[in-house]
Structure 1
């Protein structure tokens, strides 16, 4: 059963079958090897995988991001970020990083960041004289902040997969790692801009005084604080916070910015439904895959084998990092969490690793796979929206990937970077 599951899954992935269908078909093939098991088990697990109240947060957070985008949020954040740092050497590169970091506190999705504000930022950088490939590579690399800074769709799914962490704790644990990632990319952008003499043209910057731009951006910037603050002070649960974010985004876009029109709602709802269906279908099929893994004793076998190696905490973390970096090359972060966490979380717990620290290591590892060929979902999306071929973009992304790996090493061996803020606010576990 285990061999059929593994061979089927790897073979389907090699053939380019979408990850959700690969997990479902591999699960069905493995079940067929057990005549005593009914096919109804698949249906039951598909539904049970979705039968979770916290999963409601996913469509609500997606809808909130779509509403804010429709309400001119992207333009407002871009104008403020460009005015704040745009006059410095490599200023539009810094504005790219700052804008996507701001937007990540609303979207929770790397792909949404790259396809939405990322496309606009690439065009601005091209006009300012940045190379096409560099602008695209910087955008793809910065977009990985989306799943790290709260709210994060991957963190919601992780919290449902591993009961040793809470959604709120994970949200807080992602703040400092997200800031570190943004800072590391800003350093790379500065060094590249100095070497290539990338300068920003004043003609491309909004002449409005920075204070007025800041005041205009405040309604968008405070949304993450409303979500985290409301959860922390008990005003609402994480799932209720996602619904509150939708209401807030609707009011801000309609009455504060005045750019969200009612005739835009059908398209917004359609995009939200499409993205939600894609994500939840992966969640449902991964529930089938995880059930077959459990029945086949695969997590227990792998855990027993690794435990038999008697690795220290440091050696275990290094081994997990290498494994996840390899897995992330071929599997998107969301199914990666659903497949790998049930196997690795018990090992981390047995080794005495802090669950929040381990969760951030897993999420950052798998997210890095989005800018690593040959799969690299962010590379494909950014290539499409920018018109830049994959080859030149990958070459430009190398120093950024090195910087991100250094951040990953820091997060791996300095747990306080992930656990300090949750511990300060009482969410250490």
Structure 2
């Protein structure tokens, strides 16, 4: 069964099958070849994999992000970010990084960030004389912050796979790594803008205009604080926070910004439903795939092999980084978390590695796979949304990849960057 499973998934992915279908078909083929279980067990495990109360937060956070986007939040945050840095050398690049970082605190999705505010920033940078391919590469590299700064869908899924961590703790743990990535992207932008002399002709806005713009952006920015403060002080659970976020987004779009119409709600609900369905389908497929691995004893055998190597915690983390970087080239983050975390997290705990620290290493590593070809879903979304050819985008990507790897190594060897904030706040 195991050999059939791996051969089938590799072949199907190479043929261009969507990840979810490749996992489902591979699991079904493995069960059929093994002959020990009925085919019905594959569908049973798919439904079992998504039968979870914490998963209810996923559709609500997606809906909240869609409501905020439909309520002109994207334009408000872009103006807010651009007013502080837009006049500097490389200023629109900094505005790109800042706006995507702010928006990530609402969407929780790298793909949504790249297709929404990211594509708008690429157009602005192109008109200002920046290379369009460079702007698209900067957008792709920065949008990775989306799943790392809370709220984050991948963190919710991770907490379901590892009982040693909580959703609230992971939300808090994502702040510092997310900000480090944003700073690294800003550093790359500074270096390249200086070398290519990317400048903005727009002067800094008057203080009065900046104050007005900041006040307009305040309701949108408060959503992040509302979610995190509410979770920290036990006002609501992460699942309940997602529902609160939906109502808050509706109030902001309809009555504060007054740009969200009732007629737009069916389309917003339909987009949210499609995104939710795609996420849950991947999760269900991953659950079936993981079940085959479990009944075949692959996690246990792999765990024992790694333990027999007697690696130190640091060598284990380096080995995990290498494994996940290779895994992320071919697999999306969500199935990566569901397949690998149940195997690797217990080993990390046995070696004395802090569960929150290990979680952030895994999450940052797997999200990095979204901008590494050949799969690189974020690259494809950015290429389509900005109409930049893939080969041109890839030529501009290496400096950003090196910066990401530097941040990953820093997070690996300095656990406090991931653990200080959640431990300080009592998680």
Tell me which interval the TM-score lies in, with the shorter structure as reference length: over 0.9
Q: Where in structure 2 are there 5+ consecutive unaligned residues?
A: none
Where does 1:23-422 land on structure 2 (aligned, <5 Å)?
Answer: 23-202=23-202, 209-422=209-422
CA contact (8 A) 1:329 1:375 kept: yes
Moved more, 150-159 or 2-11: 2-11
CA contact (8 A) 2:84 2:204 kept: no
Post-superposition Cα deviations, 1:41-97, rounded to whole Å, max 9, x if no partner, equal 122212111111110100000000000001110000000100111111110000000
Moved over 2 A (4+): 33-36, 203-208
Offset, 1:352: 1.0
Counterpart secondary structure, 2:199: coil
* CA distance in structure 1 between the partners assigned to 2:206 and 2:58 by the alignment: 35
CA contact (8 A) 2:177 2:417 kept: yes
Offset, 1:206: 9.5
CA contact (8 A) 2:101 2:145 kept: yes
* CA distance in structure 2 between the partners assigned to 1:26 and 1:254 by the alignment: 46
* CA distance in structure 2 between the partners assigned to 1:223 and 1:383 by the alignment: 30
Q: When the two structures are aligned, how many residues end up with a matched partner?
A: 427
TM-score, length of structure 1 as denominator length? 0.98
CA contact (8 A) 1:111 1:143 kept: yes
CA contact (8 A) 2:119 2:386 kept: yes
Offset, 1:346: 1.6
Offset, 1:2: 1.3
* CA distance in structure 2 between the partners assigned to 1:104 and 1:298 by the alignment: 36
CA contact (8 A) 1:83 1:206 kept: no
* CA distance in structure 2 between the partners assigned to 1:21 and 1:206 by the alignment: 54
Counterpart secondary structure, 2:288: helix
* CA distance in structure 2 between the partners assigned to 1:365 and 1:47 by the alignment: 28
Offset, 1:203: 7.3
Post-superposition Cα deviations, 1:329-374, rounded to whole Å, max 9, x if no partner, equal 1111111111111121121111111111001100111111111111
* CA distance in structure 2 between the partners assigned to 1:411 and 1:40 by the alignment: 43
Counterpart secondary structure, 2:397: helix
CA contact (8 A) 1:180 1:407 kept: yes
Offset, 1:34: 3.1
Distance change (3 Å), C-alpha of 1:102 and 1:206: farther
Distance change (3 Å), C-alpha of 1:204 and 1:135: farther
Offset, 1:309: 0.9
* CA distance in structure 1 between the partners assigned to 2:311 and 2:349 by the alignment: 13
Distance change (3 Å), C-alpha of 1:208 and 1:82: farther
TM-score, length of structure 2 as denominator length? 0.98
Offset, 1:208: 6.5
* CA distance in structure 1 between the partners assigned to 2:118 and 2:35 by the alignment: 50
Distance change (3 Å), C-alpha of 1:34 and 1:244: same
Q: Where in structure 1 are there 5+ consecutive unaligned residues?
A: none
Offset, 1:33: 2.8
